[in-house]
Chains A and B, each alone.
Chain A
């Protein structure tokens, strides 16, 4: 992380000339990393909001950590476009407000500006969602804190939560509003990131399938990163009873689903490039598969499309070691995907005299490594100081989904039979 910080400083001091970018390849590792991190930042809100809508109770085991991960990933992502601006101290120029720079307004027609709005909104809502969910749990920590300083800090952070009915009622209402807000946001952020590419006329970038395909890819990579983190966390913090094999299996199912959607999109693009009979499109895809960056294309295909299909086998789906291995493979594959889309699409310009190759300099590599450092540092700090499992939410589903409760229920089944049929809404007339 420190090394990454140093490299960022180096970039600011000497300008982005120290990166490997050139006139043809204007976006390289920077935007690749940006899209990669933004994609990772999708799982948290998806788990919290969309799985909530689908009534998937298993989400409560991982939603807190996934939301935290989202926030850290978005922070890492945000660094790249900001520093790519070059004069980073003028970054506030992207915000539209009446200014003293004359008629110099932001370009509202540019998807890059839409990105500024989409990502900052997403970040704000995700942060609020995460923090408001934390409040009751922080209060529990406060009540159990031993040292005086810890008690004070946690009590400030819990906003004086007492757990009264009124508090819970407001908390539930707020959660619902935020869930409603963040559901469209999950879709919009990566849709707009995909617009950055798809609104252009670059072969390989301009393709209409990009928005849903980017969203599916983002969920795919987000879940992979959640698995990477949670498998370590559950081992270190002994959370095997909270994050069970069943949870890991459910996440692997989502991975195989989204991975297959992404695979369908790859094949659709490949087919359509040929079908279009547009020589630029055809060349762009030939070049992806067989050009100088062929390794990234085949790396992407193997890691993202072929290997997740192994999760069709229940045995592999339920193996923790294999899942951990696969989650790393998918993280790598999704990085390749963005590299393929960005660099291979532009390194062969329309005019052969402008053709160029691109390789990153030590500065770019260091910044990337630095963001990984930042991400893990932030996550470890979170795991150290705050509850990684949403305690209050797990408690809420314990009655209906907990194993012990189910067993108790099964034991008293004879009574329960009569009981459920009379209390169910189906036969309201029965006593």
Chain B
């Protein structure tokens, strides 16, 4: 049984931090618009794409977290489930931002979107890209986005609504809402499974339009997923540190830690396999991707490997570390930073060649998105009870012990 159902209050201090971050980000964005225009606009758009994709991916991962646990009849996650539900709130905003970036930045980001490449006889005609025109054309490209992202956002909205509604009635009614959500998540998961690959091709792989790798979709998914879990963990720890969520004990944290540990290894597995197979077969069309990154971004290339594999692996290896606030916080921060840099490596070399850098824009722009994410998440946390107290699996979660 739940003992205390204190409502979450979004403290003015945290709100202030969020606003400061947003202000900082707006300044960075303004600087970017001012400094990188005309032929230098590539850099501005590349950064907007990076942040747009990265943060939308986090909220998609949060929605997937909810769906996967529902579908698998998970019990332990009930006490933390309002956290990913709150992060899901960023979905419609993130989708709108990314859609705008893909429309207005298309010319600067994607070579395939240039008119000449598919017109026979034009100066920059490219027979390979002309062959891909059936997939990489504006109508199909944008309608995919609207259709799939629209469906995911809508389903996530319904799942959240049912979850909140279930708190307002008695337990018998809540089973009805639970069953409704089971149906919704079983629609969500197949759409997500298909779109996670398609979105990786559309948003990221087509930046290097000649290059292809079948693993790419799952590789991007691994990055999204482990980052999403790190954000969920971090938010949970923060909320808990303010005196809420007493029901979330070390056993639940242990599970989140296990996820971060396991999926950091999974990310390494898919990344390594993709790299190794391309390196081993040594086919020029494929090796070009890594050759470029290896020659001009060597430090970053290895740094990503250290941040995303070596450190989380060593930090989270022991049982005690997965039950300790300090080590969990450290690992989550490292994972978020590492995967941000991983996405940086996916995008920048393709758009900017070897001219990418770390300046005011690169540092300030993520602040804008972090600020929005904090604002949305914590507002949503305050809008509903922190624990879905009518969830049928609540007791299992309260007595969770490993």
- Residues on A facing B (Cβ under 8 Å): 55, 187, 191, 195, 198-201, 206-212, 260-261, 264-265, 268-269, 272, 275-278, 312, 417, 420-421, 424-427
Contact = CB atoms under 8 A, between A and B. Distances in A.
Contacts of B247: 426
Given A187-B269, A212-B270, A272-B212, A206 B132 contact: no
Given A209-B214, A272-B212, A198 B190 contact: no
B249 interface: yes
Given A201-B283, A211-B277, A277-B127, 11 more contacts: A208-B215, A210-B273, A212-B215, A212-B270, A260-B193, A269-B214, A277-B132, A420-B399, A425-B401, A426-B249, A426-B399
A268 B212 CA distance: 11
Q: Is the interface of A mostly helix, strand, loop or mixed?
A: helix
Interface in B118-168: 127-128, 131-132, 135
A424 B217 contact: no
A272 B285 CA distance: 14
Contacts of A207: 214, 277
Which 10 residue pairs across A and B have the least CB separation, nearest first? A209-B214, A208-B215, A277-B131, A211-B273, A199-B280, A208-B274, A277-B128, A207-B214, A208-B213, A276-B212
B23 interface: no
B370 interface: no
Nearest to A111: B280
Interface of B: 1, 3, 127-128, 131-132, 135, 186, 190, 193-194, 197, 201, 212-218, 246-247, 249, 251, 269-270, 273-274, 277-278, 280-281, 283, 285, 398-399, 401-402
A189 B132 CA distance: 36
A201 B287 CA distance: 13
B212 A195 contact: no
10 contacts: A191-B269, A199-B277, A206-B283, A209-B214, A211-B269, A211-B270, A212-B215, A264-B193, A275-B135, A424-B401
Contacts of B273: 191, 208, 210-212
Contacts of A191: 269, 273
Nearest to A211: B273
A201 B277 CA distance: 10
A55 B76 CA distance: 11
B197 A268 contact: yes
Contacts of A199: 277, 280-281
Contacts of B212: 272, 275-276
A89 to B, nearest CB: 32
Contacts of A275: 132, 135, 201, 212
Contacts of B280: 199
B262 to A, nearest CB: 8
Given A206-B283, A208-B278, A272-B214, A260 B190 contact: yes
Contact of A195 (B128, B277, B398): B277
A212 B268 CA distance: 12
A312 B274 contact: no
Contacts of B135: 275
A174 B246 CA distance: 36
A182 B127 CA distance: 49
Nearest to A281: B212
Contacts of B197: 264, 268
B277 A198 contact: yes
Nearest to B127: A277
Contacts of B249: 425-426
A264 B201 CA distance: 14
Contacts of A210: 214, 273, 277
A208 B214 contact: yes
A26 B249 CA distance: 58
A143 to B, nearest CB: 33
B204 to A, nearest CB: 14
A40 to B, nearest CB: 22
Nearest to B282: A201
Nearest to A420: B399
Nearest to B1: A421
B307 to A, nearest CB: 22
Given A272-B212, A277-B128, A212 B398 contact: no
Contacts of A272: 212-214
Contacts of B190: 260
Contact of A212 (B1, B3, B269, B402): B269
B215 A424 contact: no
Nearest to B217: A268
Contacts of A200: 281
B210 to A, nearest CB: 8
Given A206-B283, A209-B214, A264 B402 contact: no
Given A275-B212, A277-B131, A420-B399, A206 B277 contact: yes
B244 to A, nearest CB: 15
A275 B213 CA distance: 10
A148 B229 CA distance: 59
B35 to A, nearest CB: 36
A426 B218 contact: no
